[in-house]
């Protein structure tokens, strides 16, 4: 398809994002195409491993292309978003559980939907330009695409910090937080890809010592407080304006939900549990959350002044995360 270059080269299945002018944002059709390719290669003896990379210097994948979801939701059609999120999450789980190695080479922006593709690969390579983040609270959503699963597995309270603030991670922080595995300057990537295509063996991957990880030195104990109000109070006591600024700016419902979901995901044993919980929120997002207003302010009108209205109370949060009944993600179908 036009937005992806999917092919087999040597012993590798290759998936390359090819819409750099759109920062390689992931559309519904792209998610379906990735799923189809992975299904086709699962039992293909020619494919020993999969390589996912992207054209352009600015982004591996900057997130989901949610314009269609926004416009449909604004018109009262919530099915467009629900179908996109459902198929995207099935694809995320396929990557996480794939029986063959998947190597993701992630330069530039890796955010939201990009984390859902690259962040669940078995071998995640980052470079000096890499900036990884889950900034969904800023558009009235929650860390999805398996983001709560990854955040829950970061050490200490890094997960809560990143979920609430949408903070960006360079290569050192990404490895420290468990969103990446290997640091390798981008100039070394073509030769690495050639070795992988020729050998089909991930032992060909040799990284270098990662850059400094500032997150490793931060005291994030405030993010271990019971709820968003207590976290904010503690940050105020500490004078941590750097953390408070995005918290004051982001959707209160999204932050309350993200905090609860990251903590719940620490008890999950499979990524599917985290994805199912995320889908309960995103299924309802265009109808009942701050999502449409957040997208309007940040992406459509770009006035950067969202007027949050969604109720962040525990009672509403419980409703947003309640079972979807027959609409729950069905993992048996995926098998």
Q: Give the pLDDT mean for 179-202.
A: 97
Q: Is 273 a catalytic residue?
A: no
Q: Which domain holds residue 308?
A: 4-334
Number of domains in the chain: 1
Q: Is the pLDDT of residue 306 over 90?
A: yes
Choosing from 53, 65, 144, 160, which is the catalytic residue? 144
Q: In what order do the strands lie in the sheet with 102-106?
A: 4-9, 12-17, 49-54, 102-106, 123-126, 182-183
Q: Is 113 a catalytic residue?
A: yes
Q: What confidence tier does 330 reach under pLDDT thresholds 50, 70, 90? A: confident
Q: Is the pLDDT of residue 203 over 60?
A: yes
Q: Is the pLDDT of residue 293 over 80?
A: yes
125-134 pLDDT, tens digit per residue, is: 999 999 999 9
Q: Is 64 a catalytic residue?
A: yes
Q: Is 144 a catalytic residue?
A: yes
> 289-301: string of b/e by CB count within 10 Å (b at 16+)?
bbbbbbbbbbeee
Cα separation of 257 and 298, whole Å?
Answer: 20
Q: Tell me, what DSSP letter sits at residue 64?
A: B
3-class SS at 14? strand
Choosing from 64, 73, 108, 170, which is the catalytic residue? 64
Taking Cα atoms as reference points, which of 134, 90, 80, 139 lies closest to residue 112?
134
68-101 pLDDT, tens digit per residue, is: 999 999 999 999 999 999 999 999 999 999 999 9
Choosing from 53, 65, 88, 136, which is the catalytic residue? 136
Choosing from 113, 114, 140, 170, which is the catalytic residue? 113
Give the pLDDT of residue 332.
77
Q: What confidence tier does 334 reach under pLDDT thresholds 50, 70, 90? A: low
Question: The domain that contains 227 carries what CATH number?
Answer: 3.90.226.10
Q: At what angle do helices 271-288 and 67-74 cross, to 10 degrees?
A: 50
């Amino acid at each position: 398809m036009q937005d992806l270059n999917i092919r087999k080269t040597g012993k590798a299945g290759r998936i390359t994002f090819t819409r750099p002018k759109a920062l390689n944002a992931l559309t519904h059709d792209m998610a379906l195409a990735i799923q189809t390719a992975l299904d086709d290669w699962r039992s293909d003896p020619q494919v020993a491993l999969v390589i996912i990379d992207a054209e352009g210097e600015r982004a591996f994948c900057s997130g989901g292309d949610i314009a269609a979801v926004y416009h449909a939701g604004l018109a009262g059609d919530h099915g467009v978003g629900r179908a996109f999120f459902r198929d995207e999450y099935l694809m995320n789980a396929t990557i996480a559980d794939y029986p063959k190695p998947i190597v993701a080479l992630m330069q530039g922006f890796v955010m939201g939907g990009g984390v859902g593709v690259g962040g669940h690969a078995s071998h995640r390579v980052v470079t000096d330009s890499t900036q990884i983040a889950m900034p969904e609270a800023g558009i009235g959503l929650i860390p999805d695409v398996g983001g709560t699963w990854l955040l829950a597995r970061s050490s200490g309270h890094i997960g809560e910090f990143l979920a609430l603030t949408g903070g960006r991670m360079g290569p050192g922080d990404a490895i420290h937080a468990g969103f990446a595995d290997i640091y390798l300057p981008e100039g070394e990537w073509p030769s690495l890809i050639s070795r992988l295509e020729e050998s089909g063996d991930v032992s060909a991957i040799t990284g270098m010592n990662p850059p400094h990880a500032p997150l490793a030195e931060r005291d994030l104990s405030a993010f271990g407080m019971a709820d968003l109000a207590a976290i904010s109070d503690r940050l105020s006591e500490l004078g941590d304006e750097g953390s408070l600024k995005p918290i004051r700016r982001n959707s209160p419902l999204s932050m309350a939900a993200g905090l609860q979901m990251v903590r719940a995901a620490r008890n999950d044993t499979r990524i599917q549990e985290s994805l199912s919980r995320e889908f309960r929120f995103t299924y309802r997002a265009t109808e009942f959350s701050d999502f449409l207003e957040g997208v309007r302010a940040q992406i459509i009108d770009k006035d950067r002044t969202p007027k949050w209205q969604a109720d962040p109370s525990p009672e509403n949060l419980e409703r947003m995360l309640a079972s979807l009944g027959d609409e729950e993600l069905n993992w048996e179908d995926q098998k």
